[in-house]
Each structure stands twice: as structure tokens, then as C-alpha cells.
Amino acid sequence: MYYGVRIRMDSKQMWLDGMKDWDGELPERMTNDEQEEAFWREMMEKKRGATDDSMEALRLALLRYLEPTDHVLEIGPGWGNYSFAAAEKAASLTCLDSSRSVLDFLREESSRRNLRVTRFVHAKWEEFRPEEPFDVVFGINCYYRMRKIDQALIRMNNAAKRLAIVGLTSGPEKPHLWEIHRQLGCRIKFKRKDYIYLMNLLYELGIDANCQIVELERVYRYETEEQLIRDNLRPIMDENYDRKAAVDILLRYVTRHKGEYIYPHRFKAALLYWKPEPIDEWRSSGLSPLD
């Protein structure tokens, strides 16, 4: 078995560091299940019947990896951005989530859409033991609370027969933030983790994953200039900075249309996919033959 070269970095630790806030602490929602459930309960009320149109290209990219005969497991489906499309194409779809609010919403929406091939499992992925492997196991943007991220990836590998797929939205950040950082020297709350950490971690686990980059665009709309400025200057960490100059930079990326402020943001997503590998015991135990 080819284990590759030693990467002089700890990808798991880099991922864990990225879970922390800018004060170096884990947000309470990362460890408090009740807070996480409350978040999703509120989110489900806002998302009734809606999927995110800005994720359409990612949805279509994912579907290309599914076959009509596949029995598929989705981890952390959220409000179903990918679930309903996957259920329409695959032979069956199992949605696994730790939030009852998420599963109740998906169950209701699947019934409304007459998707009879979907079943729902209330569990954390880290604790779930599938009775049989699935043809495809995938999860999109569902890893933000997984501190044992290496074990989570191994579980995906072991639960899949044909394909495992990790999906994460990526950068670049909104361009005005980079300009404010570069021109005004402001400290910005940029994203703290990205798909490359998981790509490297998979390599460290002995899994050679493919990577597809998907181009995306989200259009933000604001009714007032005050709302535009408040939402888009919030990531600035400094209390004292040239606010007028920051607003001027922001407005370079914004247009007005029918009374609204329009801010288009182009960014990317990554799909890491691989044919499941036999995982040796040393990898499951967190040991390395290179140590």
C-alpha cells in the first residue's frame, strides 16, 4: 500500500483551530446540542419550501456522481439543498442528522413532493453505525461541529461501497473585505477553515481523493444602504478605522436596481470524492506507520 510522503503539518489540528472563534475559543454552539437544535428550529421556519438557488451549480455537479440504482446516505442535509434532487435521482436516500427540527422539515417536504424513497435517521454521524454500507455517502457543509474529523472521514469511507463525497463551499471572500484589509490595514474575520485541510487530511489517512471545483455566485440584495453597510462591515475586527473609506470601498462592488442595493459575490465550492479504500487499523486508531 502506498502511503505517500509525510506532510509537515497537522491537517486535523488546523481544522480544529479553524473551528474556534477569533478569541481562540470554541463557540458554544459547537459543543452545546441544545443550542444547535434551537438554531435549526429557527432556520427551518425561515426556509419553508425553499432551496438556495445559488447552490444550483453545486447541486448539478453532485448529481453527476449519483446513479439511478444507488442507495445513498446524506450526512447533515440541512434544509434539503441537495436532498430532494438526490432523492429524485437515486434508488433511495437516507438522510442522517442530529437535529429533529431538520428531519421533521425534510419528512414533511419529502411527503409534499411525493418522494417515497427517502428515510430519516436521527443521530450524530460520529455515533451512527449503518447496518449495511451504502453505494454513495455524501455530506455538504456538514462538518463544522465534527472535532473528530479524521474519524468522521474514515466512517464515510467505510460506509460507502462505490463513492464517498465531501462537499465544502470555499472562497474567495467578498472582494470589498480584501480591499479594506489591503488598503486600510483592518483586521478582518476571514474564514478560518477550508476544503484544503480535509484534502490533506484524507491524504494523511491514505486516501487519494479527487477534487472538483465548482464556480458559484450568490447575489445579496439590501433594501437600505444602512442594512448594506451594517452587514458587510460586520467582519471588521478593529474598533477604530476609517469608516468612510471602508464604505467607499464597499460601494465599488454594489449597484442599484429598482431601489435595491445589489452585491453579486462569486465564490467556489469543492467536491472531494474517492472510491472507498480499505482502512488499516493504524489509521483507525490514529497511528501512522511514519511515526
Compute the average pLDDT of residues 161-176: 97
Cα separation, 148 vs 130, in Å, equals 18
Question: Where are the alpha helices (H) located in the chain, listed in sequence order?
Answer: 11-19, 33-46, 56-63, 83-89, 100-112, 149-159, 175-184, 195-204, 225-233, 243-251, 281-284
Relative to beta strand 134-140, strand 92-97 is unpaired
- Compute the chain's Rg from CA coordinates: 21
Question: In the prediction, which pLDDT does 136 show?
Answer: 99
- Max avg pLDDT among 9-13, 18-22, 147-151, 161-165: 161-165
pLDDT value for 277: 86
Give CA 188 to chain center in angstroms.
21
Global pTM value: 0.91
| Residue 179 φ then ψ, to 5° | -65, -40
Domains by residue range for the chain, with CATH? 11-172+190-218+267-276 (3.40.50.150)
pLDDT of 289 strictly over 60:
no
Question: Is residue 21 pLDDT above 50, yes or no?
Answer: yes
What does each C-alpha distance from 18 to 189, 197, 199 come to in angstroms?
12, 10, 15
Average pLDDT estimate for 237-243: 97
Instruction: Please tell me the predicted confidence (pLDDT) of residue 47.
Output: 72
Distance (Å, whole) CA 125 – CA 156: 9
Is residue 279 over pLDDT 60? yes
pLDDT digits (tens, 9 = 90+) for 112-161: 999 988 999 999 999 999 999 999 999 999 999 999 999 999 999 999 99
